[in-house]
Structure 1
Amino acid sequence: MKQSIQYIVLLVFFLVNPLSNQGQQVLEKPRSANQTLAGPDEQFGALFEAVQLKAVFPDSKTFADCIPKFLPETILANYETIRQRRDFNLKEFVLQNFLLPIKPSSGYTSKAGQSAQEHITDLWQVLTRPTTPHPKPGEQVGPLIPLPKPYVVPGGRFGEIYYWDSYFTMLGLRASGQTVQIRNMVDNFAYLIKTFGFIPNGNRTYFLGRSQPPFFSFMVNLLSEVQGRRVLINYLPQLQQEYDFWMDGKDQLTAQHPVHRRVVRLAEDVYLNRYFDDKQTPRPESYREDVQLAKRVKDPKVLYQHLRAGAESGWDFSSRWFRVGKSLQTIHTTDFIPVDLNSLLVNLEQTLAEAYRMKGNETQSKKYLQLAQQRRDAIQSYCWNAKSQFYFDYDFVARKPSTVYSLAAVYPLFVKIATSAQSMAVARKLEQSFLKPGGLTTTLVRTGEQWDAPNGWAPLQWLAIRGLRNYRQLPLANKIKTKWVNENLRVYKASGKMVEKYDVISTAAAKGGEYPNQDGFGWTNGVLLRLLSEK
């Protein structure tokens, strides 16, 4: 009963305290960061475990997204009463007690003769979700965290907003001139920060242990392109809160205790960040997969935390995080200083510096400029490999750089912290090893994981193109753009769909990971439309 009340309280809260229509402010009374809502695995315990491990649904995410028809305690009491009966049917019980998630965009295809641009423009409406209506008396609420403004979801199995996906979706919204929707989504993320103290992976209760790559400062900067730079001041409180989330515990770190949550002390006055998750349990949306993998290791809790941290990275999963080449069970994400995460935090620090300067607080502005410079220096010291002439993640536990070549190396170019010589070296490696017929491959190894070869992903193509353009590496940037756009258009012409990821090597249907390739698809749409709109 307590959890149901919490859901209703949250719904009523934002309905009676709407965000400003002009994006000037967010809710005045935030929900405390420790007042998190229970996920379905916590609510339904043994029932949730049974449904997932017995594969009642092929996709673990299906049951995680179900909406209970009755109070959780009522459902659990009924389950305990009848589950021992010989004629008990678990799937029938679930269908009697839960509503299955609706996937409105599933099966959507283009109209005959539509161009890719027209298709994507039509898809904005298909992929847009409205604000959550007030629950009716006695109505149960599922794991979806309501948001105060409409938002765009990726599509397919992903019926909720995702943090880093949304920035790349917004690029397409910007190309479509949909400024109001961009502001709506920035307001939604500001609301989540105000409510929970950070932006969760997505607006589901089971995502409340982790975030995703911190693109909020880029979203605010994108909004400022149409509303002016003063918009940074409007979102300064949330930019600061996001920074505080990533740096939580920094002041308590010592040489003897150098790590707390997402921040790592590498030396005197040298602090960088890692991906992390506060929980050490199977991910509800991939419960069965996590439990089966855990049977191969000595300490399942440690494995679960590394898997969750890998999900926070957005690269779930990749050989970037493996101790042994192709083995997911050797994942050790939290041991790494990721070059992408820390590059993004440089931008956050620089954005904070500018916002404080515009507000007239020169002391804070100088503080964040100094922090940004310190982080830039640390990235160069720990993540640049002079011998290999490439950026790598740094294993701070083993005290050595990773040997996995990945497209995370384009982030320093994207945020303009590489030197001209470094940009040229990275460009050479991209052209020699990563560039394939359909665009850039994510890594150079095949592991069967979706964030490895042969797959290419829209966000990484965009980051590489923009990063190379920042350093006047225009021929290579244009070559990547042409190959990626052509591959997107080729698949669209053949299938009538935009998909989540592409096999850029053989240009066959992309595979790998825990679920089939999804169509929709938010960030593919956003990046392609942005590239096609360029003059």
Structure 2
Amino acid sequence: MSNQLYINEIQALFDAVQKSRIFEDQKMMTDAVPLFFIAEINAKYEQQKDSEGFDLKSFVMTHFDFLGAKVSVQREDHLPIVQHIEKLWDELTRIAYEEKGTLLKLPKPYIVPGGRFNEFFYWDSYFIMLGLQVSGRVEMMENIVENCSYLIQNVGFVPNASRTHFLSRSQPPYFSLMLELLVETTHNEAIYTQYHDSLEKEYAFWMSGEEELENNSSIKRVVKTIDGDIVNRYYDAENTPRPESYLIDIEDRENALGDEFYRNIRSACESGWDFSSRWFADGEHIQTIETLNLAEVDLNCLLWHLETTLTKSSALQNLKEKENYFTERAAKRRQMINKYFWDEKTKMYRDYHSKKNTNTPSEHIAALYPLFLGIADQEQAEAMAKVISEKFLYQGGLVTTTKKSGQQWDLPNAWAPYQWLGFKAMKNYGFNELAGKIKDNWCFNVERVYKNTGKLMEKYNALDTETIAGGGEYPNQDGFGWTNGVYLKLQQN
């Protein structure tokens, strides 16, 4: 299957629909399911498009199904928040046993985030699993793992989400953490060996091209530094506008520099942070996006976890050669995380700019990963706890960056994943009071918005707890998978 097979087949019609803005949300058309054979729809469109009185929206509505394009879940009977979440698990459950339009088939049921997101998302699903664990829904946790493994085996990696136009990129590699969570829940270490082959395949995807690298060069997701070390970056195989944000990308491209603007945009999407000043050369404007020049602290920490998990699964099978190989890779990665991402001057973790051989100026919450995974030493953790307390923690939770740019992954927004990462990171190093503040500030914010609106949101405003969060390419969404999961998990701790 090509990366955008379905979109390519209706390219002329798709282009016309997106450029005419007949839908407020560009994602609508990417999610549409054709009601007739594509060839038939295309022939009718070519035949009718120039005729007098042709109505594009009417044509599209006649030839495509938009059912289920948006999930909005209202509170019933003023249920307490935990009971509401328990009901949400069922309402956000989907099946896709066959392909429909852009939707990929998956062998098991899954949980969608909610709102405009009506498909399986990779890194969201880990944070959803945290809540499923609390709810005792072990079978759905197993389903999520099985779906990820299926995608790795059949596609070569877990795509950003389960749609054809996401087959050019992944998302932060959480599969090994999903397995760890499932092992913790079931007390069954055989899970590691069961999915060993999928772990290896995912690792091969992220490390593809490393043998061909020369110093100070990059291929796909691997970067060889000026010192000859290999670190990883986010990357996308395509350099075209994103179908789900087609017109936005075309308009943003107009004043951008360089010929890889679209790939830089897409590569930032692989991080899950679409978008943030973290990626901008000038820290302000999306036209200066330079994701491809960066190696990221979060990605490299997650790959360290993948390497340590592969060490464990190899040892369980008595695969000595592989165990030694992944032990060495993990040890080297740990060393490189401190070499390339720890900034001694400011006493915090930052991304690495491979072209400038220096850390980037952006202060962002992904700096928590070395503490979340236990890679930092105590001294580094103490310095990071001070930074988190002074620069990132507000009355409504942890913000993602210290810069207000209007992008949704910047100040003042607080996102569920980083409340869990922050809480766990502080607990790991004995900063229990700070961990408690992170938990209480964000959970209170979630409860306040739920009380006022009956909704659980995709993100929250950490500074102004009288409002709901905003910014970015689309309105704040309700549902919402990872908020539900993290809220339940924090309440249990």
**Is the TM-score greater than 0.5?**
yes
Residue in 2 that maps onto 1:57: 23
Aligned-partner Cα distance in 2 for 1:225–1:38: 38
Structure 2 partner of 1:5: none
Q: Distance in 1 between matches of 2:357 and 2:56?
A: 49
**C-alpha deviation, 1:61, in angstroms:** 0.1
- How far 1:229 sits from its partner (Å)? 1.3
Gaps of 5+ in 1: 1-34, 136-140
Once residues 201 and 67 of structure 2 are traced to their aligned partners in structure 1, the CA distance between those partners, rounded to angstroms, is 32
1:101–1:323 CA distance, 2 compared to 1 (3 A): farther
Matches within 5 A, 1:100-139: 100-103=66-69, 105-106=71-72, 108-132=73-97
CA shift, 1:267, in A, is: 4.7
Alignment of 1:421-460 (within 5 A): 421-460=379-418
1:526 aligns with 2:485: yes
What 5-or-longer segments of structure 2 have no aligned partner? Answer: none
Verify the 8 A CA contact 1:40 1:284 in the aligned structure 2: no
Residue type of the alignment partner of 1:467 = A
Using a 3 Å threshold, how does the CA distance of structure 1 residues 294 and 41 change in structure 2: closer, same or farther? farther
Describe the SS at the equivalent of 1:502.
strand
Q: Distance in 1 between matches of 2:69 and 2:247?
A: 22
1:206 alignment partner, SS class = helix
Q: CA deviation digits over 1:95-132, x for unaligned, max 9?
A: 121111414632x2222231111010000000000243
**Selected match of 2:212 from 243, 252, 261:** 252
Aligned residue identity for 1:452: D
Aligned-pair distance for 1:226?
A: 2.7
Match for residue 230 of structure 1 among 190, 195, 208: 190
2:201 matches 1:241: yes
1:99 and 2:65 are equivalent in the alignment: yes
Say yes or no: does 1:282 pair with 2:241: yes
Equivalent residue, structure 1, for 2:38: 72
TM-score by length of 2: 0.97
Instruction: Supply the RMSD in Å over aligned alpha carbons.
Output: 1.3
Q: Do the aligned partners of 1:65 and 1:101 also contact (CA within 8 Å) in 2?
A: no
**Equivalent residue for 1:48?**
14
- Deviation sequence 1:3-55 (CA, Å, 0-9, x none): xxxxxxxxxxxxxxxxxxxxxxxxxxxxxxxx445344312112111100110
- Counterpart selection for 2:272 from 293, 296, 314: 314
Deviation at 1:73, TM superposition (A): 1.9
Judge conservation of contact 1:249–1:261 (CA < 8 Å) in 2: yes
Q: Distance in 2 between matches of 1:103 and 1:244?
A: 34
Deviation at 1:295, TM superposition (A): 1.4
| Partner Cα separation in structure 2 for residue 251 and residue 103 of structure 1 | 43
2:335 paired with 1:377: yes
Q: Are the aligned partners of 2:31 and 2:69 in contact in 1 as well (CA < 8 Å)?
A: no
Matched with 2:281 is 323
Pairing of 1:329-478 with structure 2 (within 5 A): 329-478=287-436
- Work out the number of aligned pairs and report it: 491
Is the CA contact 1:40–1:64 (under 8 Å) kept in the aligned structure 2?
A: no
Q: Which amino acid aligns with 1:166?
A: S
Q: 1:324 and 1:267 mapped to 2: Cα distance?
A: 24
Specify the SS of the correspondent of 1:453.
coil
Q: Is this contact kept in 2: 1:456–1:502, CA < 8 A?
A: yes
Contact kept, 8 Å, 2:226 with 2:357, in 1: the verdict is no
**Identity among equivalent pairs (%):** 43
The alpha-carbon deviation at position 216 of structure 1 amounts to 0.4
Q: CA deviation at 1:424?
A: 0.4
Q: SS of 2:313's equivalent?
A: helix
One-letter amino acid matched to 1:43: E
Q: Is this contact kept in 1: 2:234–2:271, CA < 8 A? A: yes
Q: Distance in 2 between matches of 1:447 and 1:76?
A: 41
